[in-house]
Amino acid sequence: MAMVSQAPGELDDAEIVAASLRTPEAFGELFRRHAPRLHAYVKRRLGSSLADDVVSEAFATAFRQRARFDGGREFGAWLWGIAANLIARHHRQETRMYRAFARTGADPAEDGVAEAAGDRAAAAALGPALAKALASLNAQERDAVLLLAWGEMSYAEIASTLDLPLGTVKAKIHRARKKLRKVLPEETTHE
């Protein structure tokens, strides 16, 4: 693939978006870079059954709108913002999933293959209480705190992803943590 003088792996995300306007196949490098982390996050939010669809739709939307990407913010934040909007469409499904988890203790987002036994044990111990607590948060609080915890984003990345001021993101995460502390055992809410 001859895009420019550099190989796709050597280009930054904004350069790949620009190159994909001339060579659409170049966009595949962005999928390779961002899909695994985004998929893991969406799976935790909506479960396995919707994760593939939401991630595919997020990338399809980004591809269709790539000419509008101006590089004013990181491509990853732009993509995760698209995914956040798609997740919001599934808010009821997500809330039902958390409530079912709280009642049954069976994590509907888990496909039976956990990364480590310790993670499974911790999830089993906290799962229902955490699910109930997450279901009690409003959509923006839940988005912000889960992008921090499961998306492993900084406050600035969350602000860019959700297109909110940094102070607003900090306030939403603070409120969410305060609500979570009321429901969860003390040792689970470290900052």
Q: Which amino acid, 104?
A: T
The CATH code belonging to domain 12-125 is: 1.10.1740.10
Tell me, what's the pLDDT at 105?
67
pLDDT digits (tens, 9 = 90+) for 140-178: 898 899 899 888 889 999 999 898 999 999 999 999 988
Domain boundaries, the chain: 12-125, 128-184
Domain 128-184 CATH class label? mainly alpha
pLDDT band at 185; cut points 50, 70, 90: low
Q: pTM of the entire structure? A: 0.64
